[in-house]
Amino acid sequence: MRLALYLLTVLSAAVAIQSTDKQHSYRNFKLIRINPENDATLAYLKSLYEEESPYTLDFWQPPSHVGGVVDMTVAPSDASSLIRDLSARGIHYIVAIHDLQKAIESERSLASWAHPPKGFGYERYNSLDEIYNELKRLKRERPSLITLIDIGQTHENRTMLVVKIGGGQSLDEDAPSIWLDAGIHAREWIAPATAMFILRELVEGYETDPKLQAMLDHVPFYILPVMNPDGYEHSRTMDRMWRKNRRPAECHNKEWHTVCCRGVDLNRNFDWYWAASGSSSDSCHDTYHGPAAFSEPESAAVRDFLEAYPPKAFISLHSYSQMWLIPFGHRRRSYPNDYSSALRPLAIKATKALEAVHGTKYQVGTGADLMYEASGGSHDWAKGALKVPFSYLIELRPRNTLFGNGFLLPEREIVPVGNETWAAIRVVADEVFSQFAQPFLRGKADKKPEPISLSKMGLRGTSTEQTTATSRSEPTVVETEASKTTVTTTQTETTTKAISTTTEEITVAPSTLATVTCEDYGSYCRLWKVFNLCDRRAVQKLCTLTCNPQCRV
């Protein structure tokens, strides 16, 4: 009996669950910055990163190549032995931050510590609630410009909210659009703040800038300001340096004991060479790729939405290092066919516009060439699998040079970062408009198709799901496959089976139903799109060709 009790005690002690139920203090943690000068230094740093390390380290910038800056934090208990080790190996380093907790405290402006502000502020780092309330406020103020779309729920049941700006209130799978997400990595706070800043630029610019208005009318933006809401809140309340989502703990054996850790790196969870490079199968690692591609509700929700409404440009905001990254990042010297002809020239044009605002310099290239190889990234998947013409990952300020606090960018930089990033994204938006919307608009002006009425063709109301829709003339409620919940543009409406419809006559070119080739079949299905059905499983049987992205015209 005694032996049994003893064994039980030993066994329970051997299960180490990464404790996250109390606030993590970074008092006296150091940020060590190293510029690896030779292969031996690089190999040593890689061994610390990839293999079992005797120190408690968190790599903010992992080692990749000689000359590529490495940032890592070290716990106070390990700092002196690590520094001794570095010195013994002749490795030059600087202590960029002496007390990480102090740096965390000075990230927010002095004013916000003295008088904690109430409500949302565009020059502040806001909570998820504050961000969502601001989205709802904007929607209330401009109901015809803004649509809120609930694309899914997280592990901790938070809503993933996409805001659509422009393009009318119904979702159109064929209209050219621009996708912008931020906050896939929880601790990169400047990213959601920048997404919100850009949202405001779009909303206010719509009223004051006729060119922007024309663009948004035909090329809406879909913005997901916080792609990892659980992680974001965790980084605000419990652990400022949290990166992953909050997938419940998974346990595995490690030597003589069991360890259990939470979270998946969402930017390793997309189905693009998933688990092939720069990611870990260890659930305790910061780059854990998860048990399968798209195993996470957050990445699956984004996939479902983007597959239903594929954009012409995909932009994902991260921090830090001031890099404009182009696919592909899973392997060095691996590029899409239009890398040199389209993706890179536009990236260079965009970063020039960015630099013109405050003189901030960005590097342009693939993540694998400029940083490190890493597969399963969202921008690689968007280009490689979804075939989005322009796909980018932007690593915002600061640059990882001698100075700078990495993820802890002071609040006073939010507005300048917002202004310069908006200038760059505007370049991408202008390009999408001139390539994908203007020719179509010109064509429309030249040739007016003879109107055909859907009701005359017997297509209206042929779906049982369609008949459950609300019968308002302007669609405002949309259900997505991913969430099975409601997207409301006003807070009062709810329906679980609603599909937006319009009672207006639909105009289509008469030729669209003539022959059933791949494209024409697509056109047939696009008739259904006006009921927002084409992406729905029920209709996929009819529309298999259209729902296959290869068949889109």
Site for ligand 0X9, rule CB under 6 A: 185, 188, 267, 318, 325, 329, 367-368, 371-374, 377, 393, 395
Q: In whole angstroms, how close is the CB of 370 to ligand 0X9 at the nearest point?
A: 7
Q: How many CB atoms lie within 10 A of CB 442?
A: 10
- Length of the chain equals 553
From Zn ion, ligand 0X9, none, interface partner of 393 (C-beta below 5 to 8 A by class) = ligand 0X9
* Cα atoms in the Cβ-side hemisphere of radius 13 Å centred on 100: 24
* Cβ atoms of 167 and 220 closer than 8 Å: yes
- Residue type, position 271, single letter: D
d(CA 485, CA 482): 8
DSSP 8-state assignment for residue 321? S
- With respect to ligand 0X9, which residue has the nearer C-beta, 267 or 405? 267
Q: In whole angstroms, how close is the CB of 418 to Zn ion at the nearest point?
A: 18
d(CA 218, CA 166): 7
Q: Which stretch binds Zn ion (CB under 5 A): 58-66, 313-321, 475-483, 521-529?
A: 313-321
- With respect to ligand 0X9, which residue has the nearer C-beta, 71 or 150? 71
The answer to whether residue 185 forms part of the interface with Zn ion (CB under 5 A) is yes
Q: Which stretch binds Zn ion (CB under 5 A): 46-54, 182-190, 373-381, 528-536?
A: 182-190
Q: Which stretch binds Zn ion (CB under 5 A): 121-129, 318-326, 377-385, 398-406?
A: 318-326
Token pair 């060479």 is found at 273
- With respect to Zn ion, which residue has the nearer C-beta, 233 or 265? 265
Q: In whole angstroms, how close is the CB of 104 to Zn ion at the nearest point?
A: 18
- Site pattern 266..285 for Zn ion (x: CB under 5 A): --------------------
- Show the 3-state SS of 510-524: HHHHCCCCHHHHHHH
Helix (H, G, I), strand (E, B) or coil at 61: strand
* Cβ atoms of 185 and 231 closer than 8 Å: yes
- With respect to Zn ion, which residue has the nearer C-beta, 318 or 460? 318
Q: In whole angstroms, how close is the CB of 329 to ligand 0X9 at the nearest point?
A: 3
Cβ burial 5-16 (10 Å sphere, 16+ → b, else e): eeeeeeeeeeee
- With respect to Zn ion, which residue has the nearer C-beta, 185 or 262? 185
Catalytic residues: 395
d(CA 230, CA 153): 10
Q: In whole angstroms, how close is the CB of 62 to Zn ion at the nearest point?
A: 12
d(CA 202, CA 321): 26
From Zn ion, ligand 0X9, none, interface partner of 329 (C-beta below 5 to 8 A by class) = ligand 0X9
From Zn ion, ligand 0X9, none, interface partner of 298 (C-beta below 5 to 8 A by class) = none
Q: Which residues bind Zn ion (CB under 5 A)?
A: 185, 188, 318
